[in-house]
Amino acid sequence: MRNRYALVGRLSVAVALACLLASGAAAQTRGRSFLWKVQSGNNVMYLAGSVHALTADAYPLNPAYQRAFDASSSLVEEIDLAEADPLTGGAGLLSKGMYQDGRTFGSAVSRQTVALVEQKLKNTPLALDLIQPMKPWMVMLMLEALGSQAAGLDPELGLDKHFYNLAIDGKKQVIGLETAESQMDRFDKMPEAMQEQMLRSELAEMDSEQSSLRALLTAWQTGDGPAIEKMLLGSFSNNQTAYSSLIVERNRNWMPQLETCLRRSSPCFVVVGAAHVVGPQGLLTMLQQKGYRIEQQ
């Protein structure tokens, strides 16, 4: 479930591969990007689905992204990324993922899960005793981050971070659809049994992670919405409760703010995780159902 690492890592793929160069060229040839123009009368909003960790080989981006960003007066992202900066509060938010009551990871999950995690931690800088203070959802995110790092992906090169940096440099307004704390709370309020279920899902996926990420990045760079939907939303097939909490409820919460953007005379450039854009309960579908015109760029 690659989108989980996206939520906090930037969170959240919290993740080149040789095919990136080839797929980047294909994106230029086809002229398609994972970006949509949304229109309400004469008013415009741009909606980009993000991969939150990339490599330098993914750049330069399809020119459609920069054109849309340049035409916009505001950048709208899941959170204002300043909140994720360890120097301005990010480290404090991560403490939510640590037990404060004497419990440990080993006491919260089954012995089988502990053994599987211990096996995955071999040949990494971490040992089992170092993760004992962590809650299961934090261990899951940590493993996703390790997998992304092993694949050569860097959150500092993610689409949302790229445009955040450009917005700060250009003194554009930055708007967060939610807070970093609310993102963390999505995980922290899950029952421990669900946290363990998601962790076990991540453990099962790790062996095929690099090939999965290659396919995901190729689909993203060529603007292949159906493929992104199959890969990202398919990972929630055995946990619809998590899908509802992490994707659908947040999409619904964001819609009023996106409609506010569509009432503005100057465009907003919106960047959210790709899993939020696609699917029958994705933002594109929600916007279309309200009568807005959608055009892939």
- Would residue 113 count as lying in a domain? no
Q: How many CB atoms lie within 10 A of CB 107?
A: 10
Count how many residues are written for the chain. 297
Tokens of 166: 């450009």
Asked whether the beta carbons of 132 and 31 are under 8 A apart, the reply is: no
What is the rounded CA–CA span in Å between residue 46 and residue 242?
27
- Would residue 112 count as lying in a domain? no
**Model confidence, pTM:** 0.85
- Would residue 142 count as lying in a domain? no
What is the rounded CA–CA span in Å between residue 160 and residue 179?
15
Domains of the chain: total: 1
- Would residue 135 count as lying in a domain? no
**Average pLDDT by stretches of 10, the chain with 297 residues:** 40 32 36 92 97 89 97 97 66 82 95 94 86 95 85 90 97 95 91 93 80 86 94 84 93 98 96 96 98 97
Residue type, 227: A
pLDDT at 174: 97
- Would residue 41 count as lying in a domain? yes
Give the CA distances from residue 181 to residues 134, 208, 268, in Å, rounded to whole numbers and listed in that order: 17, 31, 24
Kindly report the CA angle at 52 between 216 and 66, in degrees rounded to 5?
A: 95
Give the CA distances from residue 16 to residues 20, 27, 32, 46, 150, in Å, rounded to whole numbers and listed in that order: 6, 16, 21, 27, 10
pLDDT at 92: 67
Q: Which domain holds residue 214?
A: 2-85+151-194+206-296
With DSSP H G I counted as helix, E B as strand and the rest as coil, what are the percentages for the chain, rounded to 5? 60, 10, 30
- Would residue 96 count as lying in a domain? no
- Would residue 106 count as lying in a domain? no
Asked whether the beta carbons of 274 and 225 are under 8 A apart, the reply is: no
pLDDT at 280: 95
- Would residue 248 count as lying in a domain? yes
